[in-house]
Amino acid sequence: MNTTMQTTGRTIRWAKRYDSVVRLMTLGKDKALRQISIERAQIKPGDHVLDVGCGTGDLTLAAKRQAGQRGKVFGIDAAPEMVEVAQSKATKAGIEVDFRLGLIEALPFPDDTFDVVLSSLMMHHLPEDVKAKGLREIYRVLKPGGHLFVVDMQRPVGLVSHILTTVMMHGHLHSGVQDLPVMMTEAGFTNIEISDFWLKMLGTVRGEVK
């Protein structure tokens, strides 16, 4: 499995070093970040869950623990290196998650498949047109009553936020999590809720499918 899929999204090929970089960027709080993310994602036992741009799969594996034996959890990423690392983590831990190559802009799943879709630290890797297409795809694969939960970088606003996001190597962002609600509304989502997260460098957005 070594063919990166064709996308204008920014893929990450250095999968073996990815977890260490996240640890560094979160000042060693990566596990806490995953824990809080999964608590806020509102996954119930038995849920069918998709993690888009799953990377090395830490949040996907945590999602499976939440969804339990009856739950079905999938992780897709455009980079084969990421999928390989995620799959080997699952195998080592004896956790059943289906990791596969896939693009957010062309999700390889039928309509109305998932109760919850997760997107963690990945939306800012996408140009605006792919983000809009990806949100429409997520809306399509969610069941009525299902929801999308996003954790992502905030567009820096003000000096402190500029300094913090620059330390996290994301000071250049022109679009952030606070800009997602408009696009989510256009994609069809309702009851959209946005909140601050992680020193206001990150934020979360949740939206539902009617």
Residues that bind ligand SAM (CB under 6 A): 7, 9-12, 22, 53-55, 59, 77-79, 82, 103-105, 120-122, 125-126, 130
Complex with ligand SAM: residue 160 or 169, whichever CB lies closer:
169
> Residue 47 or residue 51: which is nearer to ligand SAM going by CB?
51
Cα angle for residues 116, 121, 127 (degrees, 5° grid): 100
CA angle 29, 156, 189 (to 5 degrees): 85
Phi, psi dihedrals of residue 157, rounded to the nearest 5°: -130, 120
Q: How many CB atoms neighbour CB 176 within 10 A?
A: 21
Give CA–CA dist 74/194, Å, rounded. Answer: 25
Closest C-alpha among 64, 72, 70, 19 to residue 38: 64
Local structure of residue 177 (DSSP, 8 states)? G
Instruction: Give the span between the Cα atoms of 152 and 179, in whole angstroms.
Output: 11
DSSP state of 156: P
Nearer to ligand SAM, 45 or 108 (CB): 108
CA–CA distance, 36 with 118 (Å, rounded to integer):
13
Q: For residues 55 and 156, which CB has a smaller minimum distance to ligand SAM in the complex? A: 55
Q: Is 9 helix (H, G, I), strand (E, B) or coil?
A: coil
Please identify, using beta-carbon distances, which residue of 12 and 168 lies nearer to ligand SAM: 12
Considering the complex, what minimum distance in angstroms separates the CB of residue 186 from ligand SAM?
19
Query: Least distance from C-beta 22 to ligand SAM, angstroms?
Result: 6
3-state secondary structure of 108: coil
Give the shortest CB-210-to-ligand SAM separation in angstroms.
26
Q: Least CB distance from residue 23 to ligand SAM, whole Å? A: 11
CB of 53 to ligand SAM, least distance (A): 3
In the bound state with ligand SAM, the residue whose beta carbon lies nearer, of 23 and 200, is: 23
Give min distance, CB of 70 to ligand SAM, in A.
24
The secondary element (H helix, E strand) that includes residue 128 is: helix 128-141
